[in-house]
Amino acid sequence: MKVPSSSVQLLVLFVLASSALTAPQGCSHKIKEQIEPPKGWVKVAPAPADHIINLRIALPQPEFASLEKALYEVSDPDHARYGQHLSKEEVEELVAPHPESLNAVDDWLASHGISQGDLSRSPAKDWVKVRVPVSLAEEMLNTTYYVWRHIESGDAVVRTTSYGLPEHVHPHVDLVQPTTLFSTFQGMKTTYRWSANRQQSVDSGVASIRSASGTVVDSSCNSTITITCLKELYNATGYNSSATNGNTIGITGYLEQYANYMDLQDFYAQQRPDAVNSTFNLITINGGQNNQTLSAAGVEADLDVEFAYGLTYPTNRTFFSTGGSPPYIPDMNTPTDTNEPYTQWLDYILASPNPPQTISTSYGDDEQTVPESYALRACADFAQLGARGVSLMFSSGDGGVGDGDPDPTTQTCYTNDGRNVTRFIPGFPASCPYVTAVGGTTYVPEVAVSFSGGGFSNYFGRPRYQTEAVTKYLASLAPGTYEGLYNPFGRGIPDVSTQADYFQIWSQGRSGHVGGTSASSPTFTGFVSLLNDALISAGRPPLGFLNPFLYGRGVAGLTDITSGNNPGCGTEGFNASSHHLHDINYVNTDAVTGLGTPNFGLLKDIVLS
């Protein structure tokens, strides 16, 4: 966009002032959003006036309640509409803004010299995007942008802690970003261990062990997790998926994490020989790359694709490489500074006519680092995908009940709102009620892994599918347990779990063990994809949004994990629950492993019944 000169801007303002579109009070700005300077970020200097910002403006979705209603109906096995997922066009109709909002925002932008040709819009027109220099953004939002630097990482962004809009525009805009978003979006992972053996003695004389669900598992699975281990543990041995029925599994990649073809072939040769010489479909978004230099291989990306694709081969496979991440370098004249990269992925996937039926994401951040308005809107976008029949899995986090630091002894656990009080720190997007949050277990029989992210959202209320299970779980806690440290009315995390430690992968040409809920999310996603394979092959629709099914009929196909905890914030965290195990009508959940781990054989029978 060519920025208008000051004389042109004055002319535009004069014309508008002379028209009936404005009134003296209507032109005044009113604060739309204001935050405390976030922890760990320091103000460096005013942002350069010519620095380009990619503004994203969210318009209200007045019919979202109707979309949410449809989402729950098509996702509830006991509802007559179950499986009747909405089309892309039907979803877009339900999230489209009112014409009044479109006109009000267009007029506001025009008053700053921004024409229709300068804009891009989402298919539903509920997002408007425009590139503007800092000087114009500051005028539009009545704010001042600064360069902020993250003390720990050194990353820098151009942000503000407060912005406003003309009063008459307020009802027509939900949020504008980048403004107050200081999130440090990152992969969910603990340390990478390139060790040969697990730090626990294993009786080599025992050939097999029995899992809590009754399956027989090779004893080596207590020191190294492989594709074979997972299929044995979760009762999927012998199931063969289709390469041609239209089922697709998707993995998202961010922050220059590249899935390496050579590493994948080495992994297949070791753990899935029949998949050797097969590969995946690559989709690059927002300048995403595909660097195949071996040294550029990302452990996160390699882990995700090796286990998700290894479990589901020969199902059609897609890897999304999404570009766009700080740091911004303050001494450059016209640097590039982007939004959170997963908004770029959301733009792409919502516009896609045929997204994968099952998608895993092993990235996220502490919920409190994401402005609530932004989290609510991103979550609403996830709901659109669920209504269209897409199952979305997110890692629950690696900090137990604490922040993203996997070491519970160094977590801060202070609120980010200026009060600096101690609170448990849930993760986002796992806290969104329209996605499935995946926690972690370890060993056979399984126990909760100590870093499994869990707790309760401070942004999202308890969804109705959790009402009974979470209410009973909280009632089982000793009176006063962690009172004031968590929101007892919030959405509970995680929903389910799988193994999350000592996964044997190949990365940068060598084999080693890795751990984190970055392992459990693609694992659970793999088994969901196999369930979708069975459904699609039987001429049935895919599962779509999973949670109403999991907390209902599906719980009979999950194995409750009854021991372990997730320490953090100077506490032992929550315990895995073992209450009411003999009550078949009781849906058992906890804030460490959720409803438990999958039994694919039972789940397949349930979904096909």
Q: What are phi and psi of 483, to 5 degrees?
A: -55, 130
- Report CA-CA distances (Å) from 29 to 53, 105, 279, 554: 20, 14, 54, 51
Annotate 399-443 with three-state secondary structure: CCCCCCCCCCCCCCCECCCCCCCECCCCEECCCCCCCEEEEEEEC
Burial status of residue 50 (CB atoms within 10 A of its CB: 0-12, 13-18, 19 or more): exposed
Q: What is the secondary structure of 199-262 as a DSSP string?
A: SS---TT--EEE-TTS-EEEGGGGT-B-HHHHHHHTT-TT----SSSS-EEEEEE-TT-B--HH
Query: Of these residues, 518, 521, 529, 577, which one is catalytic?
Result: 518
**Distance of alpha carbon 432 from alpha carbon 381, whole angstroms:** 10
**Distance of alpha carbon 586 from alpha carbon 76, whole angstroms:** 18
Virtual torsion, Cα 597, 601, 603, 606, nearest 10 deg: -150
Record the tokens describing residue 544, joined without a space. 């779509």
DSSP state of 12: H
DSSP state of 282: E
Query: Of these residues, 68, 304, 365, 398, which one is catalytic?
Result: 304
Element at 474 (helix H, strand E): helix 467-476
Positive or negative CA dihedral for 532, 533, 534, 539?
A: positive
Is the CB of residue 522 less than 8 Å from the CB of residue 308? yes
Query: Of these residues, 33, 68, 300, 405, which one is catalytic?
Result: 300
Contact partners, residue 48, CB within 8 Å, separation at least 6: 134, 333, 334
Is the CB of residue 325 less than 8 Å from the CB of residue 331? no
Nearest to 496 by CA among 357, 425, 589, 606: 589
213 is catalytic: no
Strand pairing class (248-253; 358-361): parallel
Is the CB of residue 554 less than 8 Å from the CB of residue 606? yes
Record the tokens describing residue 312, joined without a space. 């589901």
Please report where in the chains the tokens 């998202």 appear, as a residue: 252
Kindly report whether the peptide bond that precedes residue 479 is cis, defined as omega within 30 degrees of 0.
no
274 is catalytic: no
**Distance of alpha carbon 441 from alpha carbon 434, whole angstroms:** 23
Is the CB of residue 460 less than 8 Å from the CB of residue 547? no
DSSP state of 462: P
68 is catalytic: no
Is the CB of residue 576 less than 8 Å from the CB of residue 590? yes
Positive or negative CA dihedral for 127, 129, 134, 137?
A: negative
Q: What is the set of active-site residues?
A: 300, 304, 518
